[in-house]
Chains A and B, each alone.
Chain A
Amino acid sequence: MYGNDFSAPDDATGGGLLGEVEAAEAELRAAAARQRRGGPAPDEDLAAYFTAVVDAEQKIEPRDWMPDAYRKTLIRQIAQHAHSEIIGMQPEGNWISRAPSLKRKAILLAKVQDEAGHGLYLYAAAETLGISRDELVRLLLDGRQKYSSIFNYPTLTWADMGAIGWLVDGAAIVNQVPLCRCSYGPYARAMIRVCKEESFHQRQGYEILHTLSHGTPEQQAMAQDAVDRWWYPSLAMFGPPDGNSTHSAQSMAWKIKRFSNDDLRQRFVDMCVQQAEILGLRIPDEDLRWNEERQAYDYTQPDYDELMRVISGDGPCNRERIARRRAAHAEGAWVREAAAAYAAKRAGQKEKVAA
């Protein structure tokens, strides 16, 4: 059933964020259809050409000239995003064998498989910038590139699967929908694909929480406990406040990023309040209230010192996550070697037949 979410793109209930993804896709096609500039003129300044393409909302493609810093920023960002998808399989994978029914198990398996797929789309996009897959994997395993801080928190109960879907995937979607309009073509296209699939993730999480919160008092309490634990780490996913965000201004100018961290965080909070009411669950923030003047909710900021600690390696599960990834990579070596040996053997046989 969960496949239907994707194969019916005209579904009117899709609205909201999914609607925005489709708008971004339409915009991408429209921009491509507009009078398109060819390559730069022989005597044209390459930097000026790059800026003109970006300002005209056209996409930069892999073989276009681009500033070194733009390339580096994209590699860092896309790689970090890919690593997050790969590490993100762990907290949920933790519950596959203990899902409460066969249906829930099948859904969770499909979701974790999606995360692997998202990681691969993104690695492929990063590789178009001239970095190799092996290098990217190495950077993750050596801890020289980061992944999202959120995956360093433990998944203690089944309700965490619901809270991750609703809050973590919800925050990820708010963050990622604007990336569908990123100036770098391969990243924008990968994000459109990711966001469409991500919406099933968010809905399945919401459904888990809704079922629990309308169940027994124990189930209700378990759902509330999960929301209590995941709320602030989810808010922290949007990164440090605008004043302290090192990469923001330049990324905005390059149209890699479209909105500031704080704007996106506010948008997420405003979305969640009504959704929480329907769930019958409480957002753990005494100071959460509607601000008529700002036409937005006032809310308590997450603990940014904690965010920095978790990013720098000192979260509840950092060591466990990286150790597990290293072990999986090492234990999978024989599969890669066997596949390569088999491919070499077959190539050898073909040559013999040809000769």
Chain B
Amino acid sequence: MEQTPLWEVFVRARRGLSHTHVGSLHAPDAELALRNARDLYTRRQEGVSIWVVPAGAITASSPDEKDAFFDPAADKVYRHPTFYEVPDGVAHL
């Protein structure tokens, strides 16, 4: 038999927080993945909402990509407010 599909599970801990990846599980379809995720990852009321995503549907950047993927952001310090000097005495800035 074919391997049962793998799902990544994301749980929102409380209203107002974002969903956070908690782990993965196997299930034949989305509905069962959701039920299994409830039984596996929220046995102690750890969440108010669950997302399940087929693991194969996630495209990830690779940590050892040779052409440094995140480098373009490294030399743009002027994107941070601390780059700018504020004259003494200026308030509300």
Contacts and interface: CB of A to CB of B under 8 A. Distances in A.
Interface of A: 3, 6-7, 38-40, 42, 46, 61, 63-65, 110, 113-114, 117, 120-121, 124-125, 127-128, 132-134, 186, 189-190, 197, 336-337, 339-340, 342-343, 346-347
A38 B70 contact: yes
Nearest to A337: B1
Nearest to A339: B28
A127 B62 contact: no
Nearest to A64: B63
Contact of B43 (A114, A339, A343): A114
A124 B25 CA distance: 6
A189 B68 CA distance: 27
Contacts of B32: 339, 343
- Which 4 pairs across A and B sit closest by C-beta, in order of nearness? A343-B29, A343-B28, A339-B28, A6-B44
A117 B6 CA distance: 16
Given A117-B40, A340-B28, A343-B28, A134 B3 contact: yes
A343 B33 CA distance: 11
Interface string B42-79: 01110000000000000010111110111000000000
Given A42-B66, A63-B63, A340 B23 contact: no
Given A63-B64, A128-B24, A340-B4, 5 more contacts: A63-B63, A120-B40, A133-B26, A336-B1, A342-B28
A19 B72 CA distance: 41
Contacts of B2: 340
A117 B4 CA distance: 18
A36 to B, nearest CB: 11
Contacts of A343: 28-29, 32
A134 B26 CA distance: 11
Contacts of B29: 339, 342-343, 346-347
Interface residues of B, number: 27
A39 B25 CA distance: 28
A217 B23 CA distance: 47
A120 B25 contact: yes
Contact of B64 (A65, A120, A197, A336): A65
A190 B21 CA distance: 12
A340 B63 contact: no
Nearest to B67: A42
A64 B6 CA distance: 20
B28 to A, nearest CB: 4
A343 B2 CA distance: 13
A22 B29 CA distance: 35
A63 B55 CA distance: 14
Contacts of A65: 64
A113 B41 CA distance: 12
B17 to A, nearest CB: 15
B44 to A, nearest CB: 4
Nearest to B66: A42
A61 B61 CA distance: 13
24 contacts: A3-B44, A3-B45, A7-B45, A38-B68, A39-B62, A40-B64, A61-B63, A63-B62, A110-B43, A117-B40, A121-B40, A124-B25, A127-B24, A128-B24, A132-B3, A133-B3, A133-B26, A134-B3, A189-B23, A336-B28, A339-B4, A342-B28, A343-B29, A343-B32
Contacts of A6: 44
Interface in B3-41: 3-4, 6, 23-29, 32, 39-40
Contacts of A347: 29
Contacts of B27: 339
A233 B30 CA distance: 43
Given A336-B4, A340-B1, A340-B4, A190 B28 contact: no
Contacts of B23: 121, 124-125, 186, 189-190
Contacts of B1: 336-337, 340
Contact of B44 (A7, A125, A128): A7
